[in-house]
Chains A and B, each alone.
Chain A
Amino acid sequence: QSVLTQPPSASGTPGQGVTISCSGSSSNIGNHPVNWYQQLPGTAPKLLIYGNGQRPSGVPDRFSSSKSGTSASLAISGLQSEDEADYYCAAWDDSYWVFGGGTKLTVL
């Protein structure tokens, strides 16, 4: 059972927008930035967003994040077939890093 709660699955059609939520508490999301990762099948995770919504070089601006209280969200606009992957949120929790359980995004 993960400290950060994500829905196990999400879906959308090409061109649509989709949002993935990540729910935590005051000891993590409520007081610390949230990082987001994308993991394609059989590959290592890729950093999508970190800190206060910053994107590493090469990550398209179709990916964005937001935070409100103890919850955070990853938004993907203009969904593409290559976005089909697992997505994980992560945050500091008092003394260690925690990940969400992951959300499997299906592009229909």
Chain B
Amino acid sequence: QVQLQESGPGLVKPSETLSLTCTVSDYSISSDYYWGWIRQPPGKGLEWIVSFYHSGTTYYNPSLKSRVTISVEMSKNQFSLKLSSVTAADTAVYYCARDCERGHSSGCFDFWGQGALLTVSS
């Protein structure tokens, strides 16, 4: 059973860079699946941020692409999200997740972390 766990600072100041890490257990992130980040502002709906494959293929939400950086630490079975120049609108629960179909990005995320609340405030 794949397990994902997000970790992050909880509070970020406006204009700074938000940084989150997803630690994956019981499954290698170098396997044949895409991995992604999805966020949910408090009381609002879901917003897809990015999906990536271990080979480097990455798909971005165009509205966030200029501020998003993805990095992967294979040795720790972790991947990270950095979102720069944050504002209050970036306050959300951030989820990491695994795509359900081997080898391509299907947007069907079948394993999710519990979510990490990131608040942007001075």
Contacts and interface: CB of A to CB of B under 8 A. Distances in A.
Contacts of B95: 44-45
A11 B60 CA distance: 35
- Chain B interface size, under 10 / 10 to 19 / 20 to 34 / 35 or more: 20 to 34
Given A35-B108, A50-B106, A96-B48, 14 more contacts: A33-B106, A44-B112, A45-B46, A45-B112, A47-B110, A50-B101, A50-B107, A51-B106, A90-B107, A96-B59, A96-B61, A96-B62, A98-B48, A101-B45
Interface of A: 2, 33, 35, 37, 39, 43-47, 50-51, 56, 88, 90-92, 95-102
A97 B115 contact: no
A50 B100 contact: yes
Contacts, number: 65
Interface string B49-66: 001000000011110000
In the A-B complex, the 6 residue pairs with the closest CB atoms: A50-B108, A44-B112, A97-B48, A97-B107, A99-B46, A102-B45
Chain B interface mostly: loop
Nearest to B4: A44
Contacts of A90: 46, 48, 107
Please indicate which of the listed interface residues A56, A88, A97, A102 has the most CB atoms of chain B within 10 Å of its own CB: A97
Please indicate which of the listed interface residues B45, B105, B110 has the most CB atoms of chain A within 10 Å of its own CB: B45
B48 A95 contact: no
Contacts of B38: 45
B7 to A, nearest CB: 15
A103 to B, nearest CB: 10
A88 B60 CA distance: 20
A99 B108 contact: no
Contacts of A50: 100-101, 106-108, 110
Contacts of A43: 114
B108 A51 contact: yes
Nearest to B112: A44
B45 A47 contact: no
B109 A56 contact: no
